[in-house]
Amino acid sequence: MDVPVVRTRITQLEDLSDAVADAGLSAFQMSREAPSGSLVHAARDGVALSSGRFDSRVQIRGPLSEDTLSIAVGLRIPPRNRLLLREIDSGVVTIFRPGDEQEAFHDVNSLYAVVSLSEETLDREAERYGIRPSLNAFRRTGINPQLMDRTHLTAISSFLAGLHQDGSQTRLHSGAFADIVAAFIGHFAQAPVTLPVRRLRHRQRIVELTRTHIDQNLDHRLDVEGLAQLAGVSRRTLARSFGETIGESPQSYIARMRLHGIRSDLLAGGHPGATIADVSNRWGISELGRMSARYRGWFGELPSQTLRRST
């Protein structure tokens, strides 16, 4: 079951009171530029996820929660960022006890995430993922001496950065939410554990949705503009999503899958009385000469040779 996502554009200082959900934080500008950026919130089964992306310099102060533990991770941290008056870097993990004061100085292009949960919920989630957390880690507010595992940091950073950029996504896949929570809690495991490491990217879902449509409509006209509109993203985002997820462009994927469709039909002997041109047209390719050259380049033989082998 997907988790609802609330994305808020930061346009004024008051928006930053919810830099962590329902925290009621105090915020201050550190430059003449008005606060800008975005906040993302999601919650499920007593676990709340908050994330902020800042395009201006701000100072934020106050307890993150009066009644829950908060695990904060600096996902993308520029040089001038400070937390608890200490200079921090990307991957820094901090525990805040309920009611404890925090103060952060965020520079332009900062990205962070906070998971908030009660100690009872922490125990439940740790058991769910087979993690044995170190109890000492949660007894006081402070910065953890270990940086977050680079694999998890990269995956979560990329996923949440995409979530901030694309305001069209209103739900978070439950698997992605679970992976983030597992990575945050797993950072405090007594011994190394194997955590689920998915790509955690919104772009994967873009590709999944688009590919389903492509696969069901290969015999129809398909254009990148229409596919981007279907996915609710720009052409550039669609192309980047395909490139990062499956290593090719949407156009390349369509062409490749059409060639495989043609080959499947030819290996099955084609339709009674149908020519190679008919099979090619059925899969949305009308230029037989160009199709034959691409087919040979891909499969190492001409379509006619495939057809002869099938008979």
pTM of the entire predicted model = 0.63
Per-residue pLDDT reduced to its tens digit, 87-133: 889 999 999 999 998 988 898 999 999 999 999 999 999 988 888 88
What confidence score (pLDDT) does residue 7 get? 93
Please list the ranges in the chain whose pLDDT falls under 70: 1, 32, 166-168, 190-201, 247, 270-272, 311
What confidence score (pLDDT) does residue 115 get? 97
Nearest to 114 by CA among 52, 38, 176: 52
What are the structural domains, with CATH classification, of the chain? 3-200 (2.60.120.10), 204-310 (1.10.10.60)
Nearest to 246 by CA among 282, 214, 272, 268: 214
